[in-house]
Chains A and B, each alone.
Chain A
Amino acid sequence: MFEIIESLKAPWPWYVAGAVIGLIVPALLIIGNKTFGLSSNLRHICAACFPANIKFFKYNWKNELWNLFFVAGIMIGAFIATHYLSNSNAIIINENLKSTLINLGVTDFQHLMPSELFSLNSLSSIRGFILMVVGGFLVGFGTRYANGCTSGHAIMGLSNLQWPSLVATICFMLGGFIMTNFILPFILQFN
C-alpha cells in the first residue's frame, strides 16, 4: 500500500497520462454525447460575463454548462494533485535547458513553473509581462481563430481523423517551434 502511494506521488510516465487523456474522448461521448474541447470555455466565459452585444457571444452558453463543470473539475483535480499527491522532490529538467535558463537569470527549479518568469512579481519585468500577458492573449485569440486547441484539434479532431485538425496541429507545433527556438531567447533577455 505504501509503495502504491509513493509511486502515485512521483511524476507519472507519459504512457499513463496519454492513455487517461485518450480515454476522456470516448468517456465524454458515451456519458453525454459531448466532444472534448477546452478552449470553448474561454468563449463561454466571455459569453456569460462580457457579451457586450457582440454577435459571436450571443448564444445560449448555459447549454454548455457541462464544459464549465469539466474545467471546474480540472481545477479541483489540480488542487488535489498538488496538495495530496505530490512529493517534495524538485522537478527534473533537461541539463541543456537548465544551463540556458541559468544564463538568463532563471535559477528557481523547484516547481512546475520558473518563479522568476511566472509570478505576480515578475509581471513588472518586461519578459514576465510578455510571457504571461501577450502569451495568454495569443492563446485566447489563436485558439478561437483556429476553432480549437490542443484538446479540440490535436486530441479530439485527430481521434476522429479530421484533416483540418491535422493542419491545425501542425501549425500549433510550427508556432511553438518558432517561438521557443527563435523568439523566446530574445524575449528572455529583457529582465
Chain B
Amino acid sequence: MPMSNHTQPLNDIKLDETSACINHSEKKESVFSLLKYALIGMLFGIVFVKAEIISWYRIQEMFLLQSFHMYGVIGTAVTVGIISVAIIKKYNIKTIQGEKIIIIPKIFTKGHIYGSLLFGLGWAMTGACPGPIFAQIGAGLMSGFVILASALFGTWTYGFFQEKLPH
C-alpha cells in the first residue's frame, strides 16, 4: 500500500508509519529492474568493509571518543545527504521514470526516545546497526548470523507487543 497511508487517521499513521510505506513509487518493478538496488547495495557493502564501519573496534572508539573516524563518516554522509535532498527539492528533480520524488515526513512518537535508547545500547554491544549486520554475514563472520537471528527475534517481539508499548 504505497500511497494509502496519506488518507489514514493520524493515530493509525503514528503506529503504522513505516508499514510498507518506504516504497513511494506507484510503479511495479520487475526482478531485473530490482537488480539496480542490489548494485547500489554492493557498493555500500564494499564501503562498510573497506572503511571498517562493520568493525566492533571502530564503534567502541566512537563511543569512547578515541577516534574521529565514525564521526567523520556519519558527518560527511549527513552533509552530502542534506545537500543532495536540498538540490532535489529546489530543482524539483524527478525520478528516472519521471515521477515526482516524495519523502514522507517523520512523525514523532515517544518510541523515537525509548526505542532509540535501546538500539543505542545494542549498537554498542554488537558493534553493528542493521546494515552492518548483513555486511558482517557477507564478510564471513559467523557471529553475524547469531546477531541477525537475535535482531529478527527483537523485531518480531516488538511487533507482538506493539499495541501495548507506550508510543
Residues of A within 8 A of B (CB): 8, 11-35, 37-43, 45-46, 50, 52, 54-57, 59-61, 63-67, 69-82, 85-86, 91, 93-94, 96-97, 112-114, 117-120, 122-123, 130-151, 153-165, 167-181, 183-184, 187
Which residues 91-128 in B have Cβ within 8 Å of A in the complex?
93, 95-97, 99, 101-109, 111-128
CA distance A157 to B133 in the complex (A): 21
A-B contact pairs, 16 of them (CB 8 A): A60-B1, A69-B37, A70-B40, A73-B41, A73-B43, A74-B42, A78-B139, A82-B139, A85-B46, A97-B64, A112-B55, A118-B56, A136-B146, A141-B122, A164-B109, A178-B121
CA distance A80 to B108 in the complex (A): 39
Q: Could you tell me if B22 and A35 are in contact, using CB atoms closer than 8 angstroms?
A: yes
Interface membership of chain B positions 127-163, coded 1 if the CB is closer than 8 angstroms to chain A and 0 otherwise: 1111101111111111100111111111111111011
Q: Could you tell me if A12 and B50 are in contact, using CB atoms closer than 8 angstroms?
A: yes
Q: A-B pairs with CB below 8 Å: how many?
A: 530
CA distance A169 to B117 in the complex (A): 9
CA distance A37 to B71 in the complex (A): 19
Q: Could you tell me if B80 and A18 are in contact, using CB atoms closer than 8 angstroms?
A: yes
Q: Which residues of B contact A113 (CB under 8 A)?
A: 55-56, 127, 136, 141, 143
Given A147, A163, A179, which contacts B120 in the complex, CB threshold below 8 Å? Answer: A179
CA distance A125 to B124 in the complex (A): 18
Q: Could you tell me if B72 and A18 are in contact, using CB atoms closer than 8 angstroms?
A: yes
Q: Could you tell me if B112 and A146 are in contact, using CB atoms closer than 8 angstroms?
A: yes
User: Would you call the interface of chain A mostly helix, strand, loop, or mixed?
Assistant: helix
Q: Could you tell me if B123 and A175 are in contact, using CB atoms closer than 8 angstroms?
A: yes
Query: Given A18-B73, A113-B55, A74–B41 Cβ distance below 8 Å?
Result: yes
Q: Could you tell me if A139 and B81 are in contact, using CB atoms closer than 8 angstroms?
A: no
Q: Could you tell me if B147 and A136 are in contact, using CB atoms closer than 8 angstroms?
A: yes
Q: Which residues of A contact B51 (CB under 8 A)?
A: 11-14, 16-17
Q: Which residues of B contact A75 (CB under 8 A)?
A: 45, 134-135, 137-138
Q: Could you tell me if B23 and A17 are in contact, using CB atoms closer than 8 angstroms?
A: no
Q: Could you tell me if B95 and A31 are in contact, using CB atoms closer than 8 angstroms?
A: yes
CA distance A25 to B95 in the complex (A): 13
Q: Could you tell me if A180 and B64 are in contact, using CB atoms closer than 8 angstroms?
A: yes
Q: Could you tell me if A70 and B151 are in contact, using CB atoms closer than 8 angstroms?
A: no
